[in-house]
Amino acid sequence: MRCRAALLVVAVLACSTPAPAPSGSPARAVRGAPQNVILQAADVPADYVIEKDDAMSPDDLANGLGTTPPMLKQRLAFGYIRSFTKGGDPFVCCVIDSILITTADDAAATTTANDFRTRALELGSILIDLGETIGDESRAFTFQQPTADSVLITLTVLFRYANVVDAVEVTGRIGSFERTYVLEFARKQAERLRADAEKR
């Protein structure tokens, strides 16, 4: 069985305090429904199907971030995950996940992203450099999990865009996909968030 990347929370970015919006201009924010701004079927190859498409419970989100539901409630944090799989038995490649967390504002998103980073490192993720920044700022992580007949690797790009934190992940057997493959989907996810923010 492959690892559940959403539960392992295998990536995050280190964030700086966001600059205030110019006087008289509203702060940019993503306000669309999570299921509408998260990665869509049109963003992944045609031979992938949706495996999971659900809101995260407050307890699951808090456990994944290493915090508490009351703390997340203060930030108005809400988690949503959508996973696509290519299937196959035995599993080789790939599962594509987008884990999206909306929050009240940039500051809440920054704190949430820092929680991601801390938790990811605690769980054994390793910081890597994929040579590209996605969104406002980003970090990439790798996580390996041995199975009975192979080793699965999850590559994650986590970034913040305005009031949203998003982790885009690709999981497969080692050697079954290029490291930069995850960047393709992270770019598409960032563009969906940007497009929504610019509507308002």
Phi, psi for residue 20 in degrees, rounded to 5: -65, 150
Domain ranges for the chain, please list them: 5-14+44-197
Q: Residue 190: its pLDDT value, please? A: 97
pLDDT (0 to 100) of residue 199: 86
CATH 3.40.1000 is the classification of domain 5-14+44-197: yes
Task: Supply the pLDDT for residue 23.
Answer: 43
- The DSSP bridge partners found for residue 171 are 95, 154
Q: What is the pLDDT of residue 26?
A: 63
The answer to whether the CB of 62 falls within 8 A of the CB of 72 is: yes
Give average pLDDT by consecutive 10-residue segment, the chain, 200 residues. 42 36 64 97 96 97 96 97 89 94 96 93 94 86 91 95 97 91 96 91
Residues 18 and 23: their CA atoms lie apart, in Å, by 15
β-strand 49-55 against 164-173: which pairing, if any?
Answer: unpaired
